[in-house]
Amino acid sequence: MTLDLEMYSLIAVYSAMALYTLAFVAFTVDLARRSSPEPLEASASDTVSAVASAGGTALLERTDASVTTGRERGSRALRTGMSLTVVGFALHAVGVALRGFAAGYAPWSNMYGFAITATGIIVGVFLLVQFWQDLRFLGAYIVGFCLAFLGLATVNFYVAVAPQPPALQSAWLVMHVFVAILGTSFFALGGGLSLVQLLQARREARGGEGMRFLATLPTSERLENLAYRLILVGFVFWTFTLIAGAIWAERAWGRYWGWDTKEVWTFIIWTIFAGYIHARATRGWRGSRSAWLAIIGFVAVLFNFTVVNLFFKGLHAYSGL
């Protein structure tokens, strides 16, 4: 029975990867269409300028609202990409759940389980955020990123279901790691927005010259504000991760802090994003400096998961490899 569930989990994950691949193609086609000589949509700044020059005050209010709330239907490719992502996420969730049932415990106690769970939650958070703000233009980035990590996990990190190490047989595994994944998801979205912000700011500095698809996206200032809000949520989750990890460490190893490599990097990540929030809120950091700091923070998260897990020894060496 365990082997059957494990096999079905792999089939579900591979099926999700196939749908994510199609979704990535659809999102890329949408970006290509946005780069055409006649963009399908206009950015907030371009629309406001055009309507203002025509003297349409009432129309200005309606058009600006539609752009800032981001509720346009979008191109057919964009809608197709979102539909494929939703179905792929459903299969992805089934794959993670079956892996957990096969193991008999939370399926993120090794690098493979963590990778398939984290990528699934990142896609899930991306879909949920759409109810708050239209960020579908990040579809190629989010789906492409998760697809790459799923490929890396299934090829290089896969391990068969095995008994759980004693130190991981705790309810803190569920809380600590799950909340860390939630924090990572919001950092991923914030990092993507910050990357687009840098591109948009460069285009604005050149008077609108540059990548044409950026003309259909929000202004760099709005992208920065959206990134800040998402990173703020991620920072709350990461703070809980740090606290919960210390409590769990005391129960498992008899100390709250031991300068283990994983503990140090978790704190480094917390410090980077704390510095980002503090500098932006109190010292007026705006523009490219805040964007680069957000990107550096997300890169540190990726470094923590890959390099630290694979090449550093310590009490957190549960990669399963």
CA dihedral 152, 140, 298, 321 (to 10 degrees): -10
Q: Which CATH class, in words, describes the domain spanning 1-40+75-163?
A: mainly alpha
Query: Can you give the residue ranges of every domain in the chain?
Result: 1-40+75-163, 165-321
User: What is the DSSP secondary structure assignment for residue 155, as one 8-state letter?
Assistant: I
- Interatomic CA distance for residues 49 and 44, integer angstroms: 9
- Interatomic CA distance for residues 123 and 96, integer angstroms: 13
Asked if residues 264 and 292 have their Cβ atoms less than 8 Å apart, the reply is no
pLDDT digits (tens, 9 = 90+) for 47-96: 334 333 444 333 333 333 333 344 567 889 999 999 999 999 999 999 99
Block residue for tokens 């299969």:
91
Question: How confident is the prediction along the chain (321 residues), in pLDDT tens digits per residue?
Answer: 666 888 999 999 999 999 999 999 999 999 999 887 654 444 444 433 433 344 433 333 333 333 334 456 788 999 999 999 999 999 999 999 999 898 888 888 788 988 999 999 999 999 999 999 999 999 999 999 999 999 999 998 888 887 777 666 777 778 888 999 999 999 999 999 999 999 999 999 988 777 888 999 999 999 999 999 999 999 999 999 999 888 877 877 777 777 788 888 999 999 999 999 988 887 777 888 899 999 999 999 999 888 887 776 655 555 454
Kindly report each contact of residues 263-267 with a partner whose C-beta sits within 8 Å and lies 24 or more positions away, as own/partner: 263/316, 265/300, 265/303, 265/304, 265/308, 266/238, 266/241, 266/242, 266/304, 267/242
- pTM of the predicted model, to two decimals? 0.84
